[in-house]
């Protein structure tokens, strides 16, 4: 991502950080921003595409690659969280996260194209998000990155360790998962709210991809989805990146480099081989169902 692209997001984070230390100023700034959104929301466009997941599957890298394309506007940034966590803020707030209509029109006049997207990996898991998106952008396109669910779960676990959300061993965390996330999906479906416990501790459940995709593709046609195997993306980012560009009807584009984003260093590096075998047995029926549904063998 270019320095010019980074500056607005960095400035916003800096301002938010300073304001958060002063409650009255912070609340005042929020009120002013809400007024701005209510008055100008209609002037903004809506996203053309969504990267909906899965978490810990390369979505950050793909998003960073996409916003370096001359026809992709980064908007307010990655992970807007509107359709699961911030839905109460309303459509005008969400629109304010994206380019103005005139920006797209100006690009068209100059024989160019300008699109924007929302990359929020939590979307794929929340049971109400597909219906919410269909009401606002019924013709949107979706990019879904799927990683071997065992590796996804372990990466998720290591991230929790890093941020001190987890103190159990990987095996113990998996054993505790049913208790930790009990009834949380139902809670989200019934209340429309978000369960932070679910997103934190659903290590295995969030890797049951076929259940999610069947729900999404019952609302949107299959042709609106591009499914990317994360392992292919990691090994040949240029090819997979340009597959996404083609799917979004953008011109082919090569980056100077395809760096890795959001990689971390963690103390626990390996999954015990015997435990990994147990996880393979757990996921096998779900993966087979996924392969059949998508007519694609991911060889996991």
CA distances from 175 to 164, 169, 201, 274, 287 (A): 19, 10, 11, 15, 21
Q: Is 36 a member of any domain?
A: no
Q: Is 118 a member of any domain?
A: yes
**Secondary structure (3-state) at 250:** coil
pLDDT tens digits, one per residue of 122-161: 999 999 999 999 999 999 999 999 999 999 999 999 999 9
Q: What is the residue range of 174's domain? A: 44-286
Cα 40 from chain centroid (whole Å): 26
DSSP 8-state assignment for residue 124: G
- CATH number, position 218: 3.40.50.300
User: Structure pTM?
Assistant: 0.87
Q: DSSP string of 160-211? A: HHHTTS--S-HHHHHHHHHHHTTTHHHHHHHH----HHHHHH-TTGGG-HHH
Q: Are 153 and 279 in contact (CB under 8 A)?
A: yes
The closest of 52, 262, 273 to 158, measured between CA atoms, is 262
The closest of 188, 184, 190, 194 to 86, measured between CA atoms, is 194
Q: Are 77 and 64 in contact (CB under 8 A)?
A: no
Specify the pLDDT at position 33: 67
Specify the pLDDT at position 41: 76
Specify the pLDDT at position 3: 42
Specify the pLDDT at position 111: 77
Q: Is 9 a member of any domain?
A: no
Q: Is 27 a member of any domain?
A: no
Consecutive 10-residue runs of the chain (300 residues): their mean pLDDT? Answer: 46 56 60 74 92 96 95 91 95 93 87 93 97 97 98 97 95 98 97 96 98 98 98 96 97 87 56 96 98 97
Q: Is 194 a member of any domain?
A: yes
Number of domains present in the structure of the chain:
1
Q: Is 100 a member of any domain?
A: yes
Q: Is 183 a member of any domain?
A: yes
Under 8 Å CB-to-CB from 108, ≥6 apart: which residues?
114
The closest of 49, 50, 51, 56 to 206, measured between CA atoms, is 56
Q: Is 30 a member of any domain?
A: no
């Amino acid at each position: 991502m270019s320095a010019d692209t980074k500056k607005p997001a960095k400035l916003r984070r800096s301002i938010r950080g300073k304001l958060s230390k002063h409650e009255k100023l912070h609340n005042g700034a929020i009120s002013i921003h809400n007024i701005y959104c209510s008055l100008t929301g209609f002037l903004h466009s809506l996203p053309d595409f969504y990267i909906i997941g899965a978490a810990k599957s390369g979505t950050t890298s793909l998003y960073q690659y996409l916003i370096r394309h001359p026809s992709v506007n980064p908007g307010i940034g990655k992970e807007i969280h509107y359709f699961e966590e911030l839905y109460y803020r309303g459509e005008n707030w969400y629109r304010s996260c994206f380019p103005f209509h005139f920006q797209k029109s100006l690009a068209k006049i100059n024989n160019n194209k300008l699109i924007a997207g929302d990359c929020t990996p939590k979307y794929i898991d929340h049971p109400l998000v597909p219906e919410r998106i269909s009401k606002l952008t019924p013709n949107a396109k979706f990019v879904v990155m799927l990683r071997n669910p065992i590796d996804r779960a372990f990466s998720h676990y290591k991230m929790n360790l890093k941020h001190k959300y987890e103190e159990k061993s990987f095996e113990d965390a998996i054993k505790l998962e049913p208790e930790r996330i009990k009834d949380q999906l139902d809670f989200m479906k019934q209340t429309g709210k978000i369960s932070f416990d679910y997103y934190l501790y659903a290590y295995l459940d969030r890797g049951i991809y076929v259940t999610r995709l069947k729900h999404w593709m019952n609302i949107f046609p299959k042709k609106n989805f591009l499914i990317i195997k994360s392992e292919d993306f990691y090994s040949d980012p240029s090819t997979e990146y340009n597959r996404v560009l083609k799917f979004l009807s953008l011109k082919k584009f090569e980056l100077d480099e395809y760096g890795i984003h959001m990689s971390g260093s963690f103390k626990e590096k390996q999954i015990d081989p015997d435990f990994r075998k147990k996880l393979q047995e757990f996921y096998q029926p779900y993966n087979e169902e996924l392969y059949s549904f998508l007519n694609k063998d991911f060889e996991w």
